[in-house]
Amino acid sequence: MKTEKIPVITIDGPSASGKGTIAQLVARKIKFHYLDSGALYRLVALKTLQSHADIHDADQLAQIAKHLDIVFKNEQIYLEGAIVTEDIRAEQCGLLASQLAAYPQVRAALTERQRAFRQPPGLVTDGRDMGSVIFPDATLKIFLTASAEIRTHRRYNQLKEKGISANMADLLHDIKKRDERDSNRSIAPLGQSADARLLDTSALTISQAQDTVLSWYNEIVHKASV
């Protein structure tokens, strides 16, 4: 099958809107591959911290991004053979990831790696620019969002479940800071593109959000087949 014929569902949106949770559930349901593009930026951030690289040297960071030795397997993420699934979720990694993600060189170094996930029978992916830049011809593009307060509560509960204590005010501040940086950068900024459907999950359960994505996708597939 030609790559451009392989279906892709992109779910972009701000932090803690539910992108990863919903994208994974949808992928599992329709047996598509799944790409968490944010994990790639978080891995570059972790490797940058581990190697004490200069966070202002975009070319050096792009080299790190280009040569990252990573494996996604059985719901675990490996960096140079070590499991880092939980480590990259630290808010420190998220904040640094959003700093590094503003460099065009870093983004360019990750482009082909992301596109390589487009394999039969299809791909569900989440991030910030999956529909706008990486897969502009995606079958279905969604901009998933929720209010900053609700997203902060969700992140807080997520951390609590993992036994990590967090301060709600600090979390809200970090989430807003990251949203602002992601939305205002000059390259691949976070935002709803004209061809993306808006899905506000503020008042939706995970299952309702998942059903909406599936029904939109089925509607598109059905239209294409008649």
* Residues found near ligand CDP in the complex (CB under 6 A): 15-21, 37-38, 41-42, 94, 97-98, 101, 127-130, 154, 158, 178, 182, 201, 204-206, 209
Could you tell me which of 36, 22, 35 has the C-alpha nearest to residue 216? 22
- State which residue, 94 or 122, has the beta carbon closest to ligand CDP: 94
Residue 136 annotated as binding site = no
Look at residue 146 and give its three-state secondary structure.
coil
Q: Which residue has the tokens 């994990």?
A: 39
225 is in an annotated binding site: no
Structure tokens at 154: 């969700």
Residue 142's nearest CA partner among 186, 199, 189, 184 is: 199
Q: Rounded to the nearest whole angstrom, what is the least distance from the CB of residue 158 to ligand CDP in the complex? A: 4
Q: Which is nearer to ligand CDP, 11 or 139 (CB)?
A: 11
Q: How many CB atoms lie within 10 A of CB 170?
A: 12
Cβ proximity to ligand CDP, 38 vs 122, nearer residue:
38
Backbone phi and psi for residue 83, each to the nearest 5 degrees, phi listed first: -75, 125
Residue with tokens 């570059």: 44
| Least distance between ligand CDP and beta carbon 128 (Å) | 4
Annotated binding residue 18: yes
- The answer to whether 121 is a known ligand-binding residue is no
Q: Which is nearer to ligand CDP, 11 or 122 (CB)?
A: 11
Could you check whether the bond before residue 121 is cis, i.e. omega within 30 degrees of 0?
yes
Q: In whole angstroms, what is the distance from residue 45 CA to residue 43 CA?
A: 5
Q: How near is the Cβ of 131 to ligand CDP at its closest, in Å? A: 10
Residue closer to ligand CDP (CB basis): 7 or 38: 38
Confirm whether residue 127 is marked as ligand binding: no
- Distance CA(198)–CA(124), nearest Å, equals 17
Binding residues for ATP: 13-21
Residue ranges of the annotated binding site are 13-21
